[in-house]
Amino acid sequence: MRDLNGGTATGPSPSGVEAASGPAPGRVPGTVGELGEFGLIRELTSRLTSTPAVRLGPGDDAAVVAAPDRRVVASTDILLEGRHFRRDWSTAYDVGRKAAAQNLADIAAMGAVPTALLLGLIVPAELPSNWPTELMDGIRDEAQVAAAAVVGGDVVRGDSIAVSITALGDLRNKEPVTRSGAAPGDRVAVTGWLGWSAAGHAVLSRGFRSPRAFVEAHRRPEPPYHAGPAAAGLGATAMTDVSDGLIADLGHIAEASRVRIDVRSRDLDVPAQMADIGQAVGVDPLQWVLTGGEDHAIVATFPADQKLPARWRIIGEVLAPSALPHVTVDGAPWDRAGGWDHFSDPVER
């Protein structure tokens, strides 16, 4: 295989992208195989943009990204066709936006500012050639929302589509906000949407394409990237993005911090349209809000006397550990199944 930097890859891919030579300009061939390796690389790199943080981008063995803080925050995720997305539900552009968003949200949830993305891509030779280029458009556009840039990656042929994104970020002279800093007496607050992706998934699973806002929330989540650094600057004690479901992700905070967290259901927002979807499909919409996942809202804990950043809302409190589960709802265990587990959940999300 050959990496996007123009060298033969024999192991993990170097970062950075080279605009390699390929087929003569003109009509793009119909499949990835017809386009060829170098043609695909050229098509992908031609779509890239840059930012001031990118000191050396396409054209060398590796990219160079500024790290003013001298610490780099890094995160990576993988999307597999059939497990994390379906081509009959989502366009390549949608998949690109989603793949970038879930990684950028991880960076923001540490209190860092995203700076760069790296793409690892596996595609079949018979895949239409416009699919990976539209994927790159989606990744690039989502990166731009967070003021980041795609700076490199690797591409290889395989039997099915896999998209791996690595995101980098800068702390800007702040300490990272981890999952382990919550203390009894802290308030729990959230910003962003909860349950929208799960409601959209329920709609798509039944063959419908509306209400569109919920379907789009599933296809292209919109994390509040600015909220993580803002929360870090105002004293958040623990933080994470809601990728596996609110209860599951608060459970990660509670376990790491050795505390219990109680969520107040009355403070959770259930829009009227979500309630209508729930009634139509026979699901309590509160289940989606508490366990749905993939909205990539950001949830954090704050000292009780700390003013919250704009657009954050209090949904619970941190308590001393007890015999109850790590996370309770209105003081009681939430006994309904939910939350995303990559090794036990068999269906596309």
Q: Which residues make up each annotated binding site for substrate?
A: 84, 294, 340
Supply 4's token pair.
Answer: 């996007």
Peptide bond into 211 cis (omega under 30): yes
* Alpha-carbon radius of gyration of the chain: 21
**Which residues make beta-bridge pairs with 119?**
153, 165
Supply 73's token pair.
Answer: 């925050």
Residue 319, helix vs strand vs coil: strand
Q: Walk across the sheet containing 72-80 and list its strands.
A: 72-80, 162-170, 113-123, 149-157
Q: What φ, ψ does residue 85 adopt, rounded to 5°?
A: -155, 160
Supply 150's token pair.
Answer: 């795609």
- Please state the residue numbers annotated as binding site for Mg(2+): 61, 75-77, 106, 154, 241, 244
- Please state the residue numbers annotated as binding site for ATP: 153-154, 179, 243
Q: CA–CA separation, 195 vs 289, rounded Å? A: 4
Q: Taking the alpha carbons of 283, 288, 292, 295 in that order, is the dihedral positive or negative? A: positive
- Please state the residue numbers annotated as binding site: 61, 75-77, 84, 106, 153-154, 179, 241, 243-244, 294, 340
C-beta separation of 113 from 172 below 8 A:
yes
Q: What φ, ψ does residue 143 adopt, rounded to 5°?
A: -60, -40
**Which residues make beta-bridge pairs with 73?**
169
